[in-house]
Amino acid sequence: MGKRDGEKGGGQEATPAITRRRALWIGGGGAVAAGTAAFAGRDVLAQWWWRLPGNEKPRKAGAVDHRGAQWVAASPENYRRADRPADYGIDRVVIHVVQGSYATALDVFQDPDHEAGAHYVVRKDGHVAQLIRELDVAFHAGNRGYNERSIGIEHEGFVDRPESFTDAMYASSARLTAGICRRYGFPADREHLVGHVEVPGTDHTDPGPHWDWDRYLRLVRAELRKPVRTGRARPHGRPEAHGPRRRAPRAHATPRTGLRTPPGSGPHS
C-alpha cells in the first residue's frame, strides 16, 4: 500500500500540472513551441473533456471490471475519480502484498484517513474483491505517475512468509492480470508487471523475495492463450451464464425442481 503522493482525495479529479510544453504555448516561442503545445493541449483536453456534462462514461453502482469479483467500495478519499484510459493510458500492473489479512486490507481501504487504496485485493483462497473501478486512479503506488498509469493488486499475506502465496492465489491473480493486459493491450512481461518495490521513489519491499515471478508470468501468459469469453462482469461478483439457456425437450416434460444448472464462472476478459 502506498500513501497518496501529490494526489487530491475525496474521489475528486486533480488539476493537470502545467508542463514545460504547455508553458511554451502560453509564452509563445514560434512554430516549434506552437506544435509542441498542440500535443500538450491534446493531452490536457483528454484529461478534462469527460468532465463536461454528458461526456463521462456511464457507471452502475456495484459494477465490477473483473468477472466474479466482489464489489467492496473503498473510501473516496483513497482514490481520484478519472476516466481511464481516455484521460490516462493504462500500461502497468503493480503487485502488492498487504502485510496482513484480507479483512485488514478491506478495512484500511475503507478508512478515509488511510490515504491509500488498491483496485483489487486477492485472498489466499483466490477470492477477489474490487474496491476501486479501473476507470479511477487508486492511491496505491506512492508515485503519482504510476498511480495514473497502473492497476494495483493487493495480495493477502506477508512478504517474509512464503506460505502466504498459495496456488489458488497465484491462479486467481494471474487470471485477473491477464484480463487487465487484454483490456488495455499491453504485454505480460516484467516491464509491464512490476512489484511495488520497483516503483520509483517507493520505500516498500513488496511483494518480497518469496513471490515467484517466473511462475506468475507463466500463469498470466497461459491465461492469455485461452479463448476469450464473452459477456460483461456483473455487480457484486454475480457471474453471467455462458451461452444460451438450455430448455428441456418438450416431448419429455420433467419436474423443474433441481434441474437448473448454476451459472458458470470464469475470468472477465
Q: How many residues are recorded in the chain?
A: 269
Q: How many other β-carbons are positioned within 10 Å of the β-carbon of residue 77?
A: 22
Q: How confident is the model at residue 240 (pLDDT cuts 50, 70, 90)?
A: very low
Beta bridge partners of 155: 97, 122
pLDDT at 2: 59
Q: Cβ contacts of residue 202 below 8 Å, gap of 6+?
A: 2, 141, 142, 143, 196
pLDDT digits over 31-41, tens only?
434 444 444 45
Whole-angstrom distance, CA of residue 156 vs CA of residue 175: 16
pLDDT at 217: 98
Q: Cβ contacts of residue 150 below 8 Å, gap of 6+?
A: 90, 91, 92, 93, 94, 140, 141
Confidence check: pLDDT of 162 > 70: yes
pLDDT digits over 200-230, tens only?
999 999 999 999 999 999 999 999 999 987 6
Supply 106's cell numbers: 478491506
